[in-house]
């Protein structure tokens, strides 16, 4: 199934139902999310972008996206991991930009520095909270609005990380992966009856090198398009892997 989704984008899948759809992409940086943003822009969606940095590169990316997207509204922040601001953005600008949303893609980066010194249970819990709390709470706000407006929608969390270099880093990423899987299953069950799908992409299981996994951000973009389209309406509660 995973490989067929990737092949579909590589064969120029169009997904006409995505034209004019309202998509929030949160966490965009000049290093992460550009291929995903471009994939949705090329389907003539209306994009709300919450960038995780303020830079000339982000402004340039937004300009390029606007050339093919139906519309682009850009917001930049340096506190993308803050739960309160994520909720406030989801309640306000994200919804008001186009009067609601059909899809959300939350991008979360885990850097090597984030993995250092996470030996105790408290330090592991702090990392999980720092990376997953904000997108989870913001997604609940958007899902609740979808429910109230009888909108069937899709929420995809994309967690990216460099390959672990030590056993300690491997252990930390496995904790994040396990927590993400549990969270996605729970949220998907809660919102399933409302027609709202919750899925995620996380770091590949380094303990299982034979596991089927997406390779690079273009493959993640293919999956994001598929899940958001009508073809992905049967998928919810899944954690896909990416290398």
Residue 31 resides in a domain: yes
- Note whether residue 101 is domain-resident: yes
Tally of domains within the chain: 1
- Per the domain annotation, does 240 fall within a domain? no
Give the predicted TM-score (pTM) of the model: 0.94
Please count the CA atoms within 13 angstroms of the CA of 219 that sit on its side-chain side: 17
Helix axes 121-148, 167-191, angle to 10 degrees: 30
Residue 241 domain-assigned (yes or no): no
What's the pLDDT at 63? Answer: 96
What's the pLDDT score for residue 237? Answer: 97
Structural domain of 22: 2-161+171-205+214-231
Is residue 121 domain-resident? yes
Q: How far apart are CA 42 and CA 94, in angstroms?
A: 21
Do 54 and 29 meet the contact criterion of CB atoms below 8 Å apart?
A: no
Q: How far is CA 88 from the centre of its chain?
A: 18
Which residues, 6 or more positions from 18, have their beta carbon under 8 angstroms from its beta carbon?
40, 43, 44, 45, 225, 228, 229
CATH code, domain with 13: 3.40.50.720
**pLDDT score of 13:** 72
**Domain annotation covers residue 146:** yes
Count helices and strands (H / E) in the chain.
9, 7
Q: Is 6 a member of any domain? A: yes
Sign, CA torsion 40/151/128/126: positive
Confirm whether 236 is domain-assigned.
no
pLDDT number for residue 8? 63
pLDDT along the chain (243 residues), means of 10: 63 84 97 96 97 95 96 93 95 96 97 87 91 96 96 97 87 92 97 97 78 88 94 94 89
């Amino acid at each position: 199934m995973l490989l067929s989704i990737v092949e579909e984008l590589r064969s120029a899948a169009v997904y006409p139902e995505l034209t004019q759809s309202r998509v929030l992409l949160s966490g965009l940086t000049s290093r992460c999310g550009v291929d995903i943003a471009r994939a949705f822009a090329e389907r003539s969606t209306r994009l709300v972008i919450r960038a995780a940095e303020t830079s000339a590169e982000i402004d340039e990316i937004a300009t390029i996206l606007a050339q093919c997207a139906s519309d682009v509204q850009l917001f930049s922040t340096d506190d993308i991991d803050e739960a309160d601001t994520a909720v406030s953005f989801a309640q306000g600008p994200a919804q008001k930009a186009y009067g609601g949303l059909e899809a959300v893609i939350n991008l979360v980066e885990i850097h090597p520095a984030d993995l250092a010194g996470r030996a105790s249970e408290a330090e592991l819990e702090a990392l999980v909270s720092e990376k997953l709390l904000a997108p989870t709470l913001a997604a609940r706000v958007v899902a609740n609005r979808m429910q109230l407006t009888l909108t069937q929608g899709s929420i995809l969390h994309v967690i990216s990380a460099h390959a672990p270099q030590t056993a300690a880093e491997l252990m930390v990423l496995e904790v994040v992966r396990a927590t993400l899987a549990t969270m996605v299953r729970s949220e998907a069950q809660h919102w399933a009856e409302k027609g709202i799908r919750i899925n995620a992409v996380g770091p590949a299981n380094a303990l299982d090198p034979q596991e089927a996994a997406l390779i690079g951000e273009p493959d993640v973009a293919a999956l994001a398009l598929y899940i958001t389209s009508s073809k992905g309406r049967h998928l919810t509660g899944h954690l896909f892997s990416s290398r």
